[in-house]
Structure 1
């Protein structure tokens, strides 16, 4: 089509655009729309350009003019566009068929009144049919040359097309070859000789960024294999009137759901109001801090000392550690003692996690419910009313503990940063609105879903992910919890070693032999019944290695505990 001329004259782009349009047409059903347009006498297409169909068949195969009998004495004659061109007045004798089709207004029957389009108007878009092959070896090549001559050379008889400069050639192909070699004509967008249909050059277009494919869980793959048989309306209407419904004894169910809130639709709203969520944790004695090991005590003394001194300095801290190193216990002790130090004020620490299960383990909330983060839509600023409600909730919070940081992605961290800046406008220029953040977890565990992990250091094209990466790199201190608290005793030393080797994908022969003795096939039923079911994971842990390499370069590992007294407290 002539429209492609305003994009590029290169065939790869033409073929690319054609395939793109064909793909769009194939993905949609236009038959119903077409029928409606015909029935309602509506135009099938509308655009800013005028499209004209050009019949490229030989003259004898094209349609003839029609003479219609009207209500008046004069008959109305409908003349084809090519026939109108051949019978044009003498003053338009040098007009080419291409110029005639694209730039002239020929609606008037009197050819002397034809006018050329204004300079501001763009030429018509010409839709050629059929399109003959431009390969000289193809049997349609002679027709291809005939169309090229028909568009470029003024003529009044189709048989004149083989005559050029007074010399008549035996075929259209011979005449066209002479024309191609000696004449210069405007591009008619019908094609060029020897042009092959080529696929676009991969380097010609900018590479499109695609999110990496996500592997679905096994149960999702299994669900796709089930037949898509939703209940019909007839089946829905029969509910309550089937034999199984009529014969069932409904007596035990009568009055079970008679609560007025259920009838009125506000049952859960009433329940939430009756059971407000408090962030208070179990009251632990002050001696509980003595049960913390050296690494745990570093975190404890730092946060407690910071709170007692009422320091305005922000703490951005990593707490890393494998399974059983006491991360959850540390959070519990720290929250209990900060809650006690706050006395009659609300707790200054809030605990949150990416998932509900993880948040329940630390007596906290999910990040999405706390900060009203989006789940399946784009991030937006809170309305003034919602922002005010969140400000009231976090008014006294100075420390936000985020557990299971391995499941937190760069995009989510960016959203947390933006939301806290909105909640704390007085310190909006600082990361996370100036509130202290403690990221707790183990990057060897579950990665985030459909999100770049925090330790990702590759190129980023998403602005939220780039913003999250900048916020993540602001965490400049890390405490590693290395002592396993859950499996104590010398008899568990080999098992602790095996777990640590599994975590780092460096299983030794001795650990492999130990674990091989504990498979189900070699144990009795009593031992099997005492198993705790562990879901196997298929994700690789290799991507976590750049995180620790990054921490080694940019973070300072804590080696000593800060004092608890206000005058002696210092930043890590």
Structure 2
């Protein structure tokens, strides 16, 4: 029985902390204009939400208002509760910092629709804009805010000072020089260039990063051994015949 679900807006964050993206959980594609079709007697959906009492959403700055609106609609149907009950009675807990990143192609959770808009007032709101305003009214019902003041990611006081200046847009040349060194942390910590860390495997979630690391490692090892790196181009075939498709050859 799963009483708590943990969701994040991006696939990379989900892979790092063993969670699921919000879009995957909703069963919808990102930026899809078509809402998910839900039947009132969807037993699979009901089973997914039957025991859920808490929903944790991380990286809240990247979550736009469209997603909470969809969540509210789906949970209300799955729980068979009055649509006026926010999120079907499930406790929603947001984690993160409003000022960290912006949501993509969506209005931020802190969007104030009461402010004057550049959009012509005579133009009718789209369905998406209506749902964003519904979600904003849900966000305004949050009744508890906890501010964490102790930095747990680093103990480097100089780096913490830099982050604080960066947050308020007050960085100076000394901060710039510190970033150029790319050295953050305690000087007593071992270097990745020293044994045994220089032979430790590196895990990444992007093939592009993996390829760049492998290229640099190959060049470095060749230089250490006094050899010249060689590039061997693969001659791929399909059913025993050379591939002639220029698109496949380019890739």
CA-atom RMSD in angstroms: 2.8
1:504 counterpart = 2:160: no
1:382 counterpart = 2:46: no
- Shift of residue 374 of structure 1? 4.9
Whole-angstrom distance in 2 between the partners of 1:480 and 1:444: 14
2:145 alignment partner in structure 1? 478
1:397 alignment partner in structure 2? 52
Whole-angstrom distance in 2 between the partners of 1:367 and 1:380: 13
Task: Please give the residue correspondences for 1:81-480 in structure 2 after superposition, counting only pairs within 5 Å.
Answer: 346-375=1-30, 376-384=32-40, 387-458=42-113, 459=117, 461=125, 462-480=129-147
Measured at CA, do residues 418 and 483 of structure 1 come closer, stay the same or move farther in structure 2, by a change above 3 Å? Answer: same
Measured at CA, do residues 435 and 514 of structure 1 come closer, stay the same or move farther in structure 2, by a change above 3 Å? Answer: same
Measured at CA, do residues 362 and 374 of structure 1 come closer, stay the same or move farther in structure 2, by a change above 3 Å? Answer: same
Whole-angstrom distance in 1 between the partners of 2:76 and 2:60: 20
Structure 1 portions without partners, runs of 5+ = 1-345, 520-525, 534-572
2:238 alignment partner in structure 1? none
| Matched-pair contact (CA < 8 Å) for 1:371–1:390 | no
- Partner of 1:478, secondary structure, is coil
- Shift of residue 435 of structure 1? 0.2
- Shift of residue 463 of structure 1? 0.7
> For each residue in 1:419-444, what CA deviation from the matched residue of structure 2 results, as whole angstroms up to 9, or x when unmatched?
11111123532110010000111222
Whole-angstrom distance in 1 between the partners of 2:82 and 2:148: 31
How many residues are paired up?
A: 176
Of the two, which has the highest radius of gyration? 1
1:312 alignment partner in structure 2? none
Residue of structure 1 aligned with 2:179, choices 512, 515, 523: 515
Structure 2 portions without partners, runs of 5+ = 120-124, 184-192, 199-203, 205-251
- Partner of 2:81, secondary structure, is helix
- Shift of residue 363 of structure 1? 2.0
| Matched-pair contact (CA < 8 Å) for 1:410–1:452 | yes
> For each residue in 1:361-420, what CA deviation from the matched residue of structure 2 results, as whole angstroms up to 9, or x when unmatched?
3322121222224531232540245x3211101211110001111111111221111111
| Matched-pair contact (CA < 8 Å) for 2:56–2:94 | yes
1:495 alignment partner in structure 2? 159
Whole-angstrom distance in 2 between the partners of 1:506 and 1:486: 22
1:235 alignment partner in structure 2? none
| Matched-pair contact (CA < 8 Å) for 1:381–1:419 | no
Measured at CA, do residues 484 and 371 of structure 1 come closer, stay the same or move farther in structure 2, by a change above 3 Å? Answer: same
> For each residue in 1:98-151, what CA deviation from the matched residue of structure 2 results, as whole angstroms up to 9, or x when unmatched?
xxxxxxxxxxxxxxxxxxxxxxxxxxxxxxxxxxxxxxxxxxxxxxxxxxxxxx
Measured at CA, do residues 366 and 518 of structure 1 come closer, stay the same or move farther in structure 2, by a change above 3 Å? Answer: closer
Measured at CA, do residues 388 and 504 of structure 1 come closer, stay the same or move farther in structure 2, by a change above 3 Å? Answer: farther
| Matched-pair contact (CA < 8 Å) for 2:8–2:57 | yes
> For each residue in 1:201-224, what CA deviation from the matched residue of structure 2 results, as whole angstroms up to 9, or x when unmatched?
xxxxxxxxxxxxxxxxxxxxxxxx
| Matched-pair contact (CA < 8 Å) for 1:351–1:359 | no
Whole-angstrom distance in 2 between the partners of 1:373 and 1:517: 43
> For each residue in 1:464-498, what CA deviation from the matched residue of structure 2 results, as whole angstroms up to 9, or x when unmatched?
1111111111113211112111212xxx1111111
